[in-house]
């Protein structure tokens, strides 16, 4: 991330010993919201979201996500405060910037094996996230095979530059039944191209950057 990124400009991110990290002030503000959110229902989360951002499409799925992952809503509220109304209307949209903060979480969601610039998430959060972020691309890998390494490399090549889709990554072994039930996904590596929460296309295996780029071009239309 460049120094002119709105997350740096607003004091959300900082650099320490040449590493990018969340600022102490941001972390403290998130913890304050988390304490306030204890016992919140989805309806109460919806009210918090509506007060923080002007994004009607995101309210319902974010509120549902809040019951499982209240930190996401806490981060959103602090982001909205830090960015301010003017930035929220431009390249500092807090809803669009929110996923990148997951890259700095210390949790049990596996990131090792995810393509660079992809946001690692738990599979159970995909139904909500893919309604908020559309179109999106989801990379799912189930092991550490050579095919997965090749697919990862292909995606990193394609996403060296932003592709106007939100890129998520899921390590699937712990979610096999869920992925099968929700997305008919039983093998990997796989790339899902989604819109409004529904899978429009999928690619299994590693077929080179060109195949991904061709499908992305269709997907963005």
pLDDT in tens, 194-220: 999 999 999 999 999 999 999 999 887
- Can you name the residues that pair with 15 across neighbouring β-strands? 20
pTM of the model: 0.89
pLDDT above 50 (res 85):
no
In a domain, 110, yes or no: no
pLDDT above 90 (res 16):
no
One domain for residues 99 and 44: yes
One domain for residues 54 and 129: no
One domain for residues 61 and 147: no
pLDDT above 60 (res 91):
no
Q: What angle do CA 146, 121, 91 make, to 5 degrees?
A: 110
In a domain, 210, yes or no: yes
CATH for 167: 3.40.30.10
One domain for residues 129 and 205: yes
One domain for residues 145 and 207: yes
Mean pLDDT value across residues 70-88 = 83
d(CA 49, CA 151): 36
In a domain, 28, yes or no: yes
One domain for residues 141 and 178: yes
Please report how many Cα atoms fall inside a 13 Å half-sphere around the Cα of residue 43, on the Cβ side. Answer: 0
One domain for residues 129 and 83: no
One domain for residues 86 and 18: yes
- At 175 the pLDDT is 94
* Digit-coded pLDDT (tens) for 141-198: 988 889 999 999 999 999 999 888 999 999 999 999 999 999 999 888 999 999 999 9
Percentage of the chain with pLDDT > 90?
A: 75
In a domain, 135, yes or no: yes
Long-range contacts of 200-205 (CB under 8 A, 24+ apart): 200/135, 205/147, 205/151
In a domain, 113, yes or no: no
- At 61 the pLDDT is 96
One domain for residues 200 and 146: yes
- At 27 the pLDDT is 95
Containing structural domain, residue 145: 119-219
Last residue of a domain, one of 71, 104, 137: 104
Domain count, the chain: 2
d(CA 164, CA 146): 28
Percentage of the chain with pLDDT > 70?
A: 95
One domain for residues 124 and 215: yes
């Amino acid at each position: 991330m460049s120094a002119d990124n709105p997350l740096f400009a607003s004091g959300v991110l900082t650099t320490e010993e040449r590493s990018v990290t969340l600022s102490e002030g941001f972390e403290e503000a998130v913890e304050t919201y988390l304490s306030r959110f204890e016992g919140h229902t989805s309806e109460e989360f919806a009210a918090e979201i509506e007060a923080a951002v002007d994004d009607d499409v995101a309210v319902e799925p974010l509120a549902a996500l809040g019951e499982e992952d209240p930190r996401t809503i806490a981060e959103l509220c602090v982001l909205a405060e830090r960015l301010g109304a003017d930035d929220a209307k431009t390249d500092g949209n807090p809803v669009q910037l929110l996923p990148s903060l997951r890259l700095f979480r210390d949790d049990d969601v596996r990131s090792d094996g995810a393509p660079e610039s992809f946001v690692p998430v738990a599979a159970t959060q995909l139904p909500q996230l893919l309604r908020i972020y559309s179109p999106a691309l989801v990379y799912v890998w189930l092991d550490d095979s050579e095919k997965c390494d090749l697919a990862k490399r292909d995606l990193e090549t394609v996403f060296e530059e932003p592709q106007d889709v939100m890129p998520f990554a899921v390590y699937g072994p712990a979610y096999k039944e869920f992925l099968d039930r929700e997305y008919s996904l039983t093998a990997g590596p796989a790339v899902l191209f989604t819109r409004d929460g529904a899978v429009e296309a999928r690619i299994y295996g590693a077929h080179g950057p060109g195949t991904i780029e061709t499908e992305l071009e269709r997907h963005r239309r």
